[in-house]
């Protein structure tokens, strides 16, 4: 199959139904019948990357019925496919993040969290330089949230953090406001207080269907269900029989960017580049230098 830049792990879209797929039979038969396979290749010429699509022929509901040990067997076999191509990590559909996907230290899992933060950070900087933005409103949460919020607040724009559990950010908000002098507020999610001139970025899937009719309010949704962000990349996924959603695009692109930027060495040390850990800032800078964000900012324009 030749050299690959990434591997993408996925499940089938719909659960398989019937007596055969009840928990007892699934636990006994899955290790012998349902083997992961390479479904097809994924070609992304606009970013000069090529990967494979590894699929287990079960749905997320089927997999959740399995004992953790059986899940582990299935995932280990999938990871072996990636290791056969000497890949240092495996990209994973974000929507199955809650399953038991522990592969150990030898093969990191990429869910696209850093990519999504890098994209959001790039969008924020773009709009701050092209529009009059009165406030940036960040809705929801994502791993590494505190560091992301601090960097956004350093852009000298008022920031409103809105989440389902604001209390967990009180200490961070206090430090940003009273030690650094940044203008940051913290509250429950409240679309009724969004205003003209606000830039709102939604990370929480529960608010993906939210529609706001406020003039001059800019609304971006970076949830698992988001689509229409980068038409060329999304059409390439669709050609590879992968839903063109951010839950699939983000882990694939993060894996590609980490590979291209040299964050992985040939001995598979995780996320290291000149002694540094990969962050959304470093991905944002790499994407800027290599025109990756143009694929998304064309949509903005």
CB within 8 Å of 183: residues ≥ 6 apart: 153, 157, 158, 159, 177
In a domain, 134, yes or no: yes
The per-residue pLDDT for 40 is 92
Total of domains in the chain: 2
The per-residue pLDDT for 272 is 44
The per-residue pLDDT for 276 is 53
125 lies in the same domain as 185: yes
Among 95-109, 147-161, 215-229, which is the least confidently predicted range?
Answer: 95-109
99 lies in the same domain as 150: no
The per-residue pLDDT for 31 is 74
Please identify, among 221, 249, 271, the residue that sits at the C-terminal boundary of a domain.
221
138 lies in the same domain as 187: yes
Which tens digit of pLDDT belongs to each residue from 96-124?
888 766 655 567 889 999 999 999 999 99
Q: Give the SS3 label for residue 186.
A: strand
Q: Report if pTM > 0.85.
A: yes
Identify the burial level of 201 via C-beta atoms within 10 angstroms of its C-beta, where 0-12 means exposed, 13-18 middle and 19 or more buried: buried
Closest alpha carbon to 255 in 46, 88, 40 = 88
The DSSP call for residue 67 is: -
134 lies in the same domain as 78: no
Give me the mean pLDDT over the 258-283 stretch: 65
Instruction: Report whether 240 contacts 153 (CB < 8 A).
Output: no
On the question of pLDDT at 48 being above 60, the answer is yes
The per-residue pLDDT for 300 is 60
105 lies in the same domain as 123: no
CA distance 151 to 69: 40
Could you tell me the CATH number of the domain that includes residue 134? 3.40.50.720
State the distance between the two ends of the chain, measured CA to CA, in whole angstroms: 38
**Mean pLDDT in the chain?**
87
In a domain, 196, yes or no: yes
In a domain, 178, yes or no: yes
CA distance 10 to 169: 33
On the question of pLDDT at 273 being above 90, the answer is no
Read off the pLDDT band of 217 (50, 70, 90).
Answer: very high
In a domain, 97, yes or no: yes
Among 112-116, 257-261, 285-289, which is the least confidently predicted range?
Answer: 257-261
96 lies in the same domain as 123: no
Beta bridge partners of 54: 9, 38
In a domain, 163, yes or no: yes
Please identify, among 84, 111, 138, the residue that sits at the C-terminal boundary of a domain.
111
Provide the residue range defining the domain that includes 125: 114-221
């Amino acid at each position: 199959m030749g050299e690959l830049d990434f591997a993408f792990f996925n499940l089938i879209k719909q659960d398989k139904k019937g007596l055969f797929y009840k928990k007892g039979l699934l636990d006994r038969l899955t290790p012998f019948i349902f083997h992961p396979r390479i479904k097809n290749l994924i070609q992304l010429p606009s970013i000069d990357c090529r990967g494979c699509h590894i699929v287990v022929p079960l749905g997320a509901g089927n997999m959740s019925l399995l004992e953790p040990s059986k899940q582990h067997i299935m995932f280990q076999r999938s990871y072996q496919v990636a290791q056969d191509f000497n890949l240092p990590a495996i990209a994973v559909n974000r929507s199955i993040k809650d399953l038991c996907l522990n592969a150990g230290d030898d093969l990191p899992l990429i869910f696209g969290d850093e990519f999504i933060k890098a994209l959001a950070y790039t969008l924020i900087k773009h709009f701050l330089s092209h529009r009059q933005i009165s406030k940036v409103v960040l809705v929801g949460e994502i791993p590494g949230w505190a560091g992301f919020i601090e960097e956004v607040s350093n852009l000298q724009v008022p920031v409103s953090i809105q989440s389902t559990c604001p209390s967990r950010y009180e200490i961070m908000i206090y430090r940003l406001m009273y030690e650094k002098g940044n203008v940051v507020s913290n509250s429950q999610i409240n679309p009724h207080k969004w205003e003209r001139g606000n830039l709102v970025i939604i990370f929480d899937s529960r608010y993906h269907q939210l529609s706001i009719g406020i003039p001059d309010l800019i609304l971006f949704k970076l949830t698992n269900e988001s689509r229409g962000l980068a038409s060329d990349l999304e059409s390439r996924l669709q050609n590879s029989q992968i839903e063109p959603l951010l839950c699939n695009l983000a882990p694939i692109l993060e894996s590609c960017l980490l590979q291209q930027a040299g964050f992985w060495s040939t001995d598979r040390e995780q996320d290291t580049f000149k002694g540094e850990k990969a962050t959304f800032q470093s991905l944002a800078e790499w994407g800027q230098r290599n025109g990756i964000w143009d694929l998304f900012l064309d949509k903005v324009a």
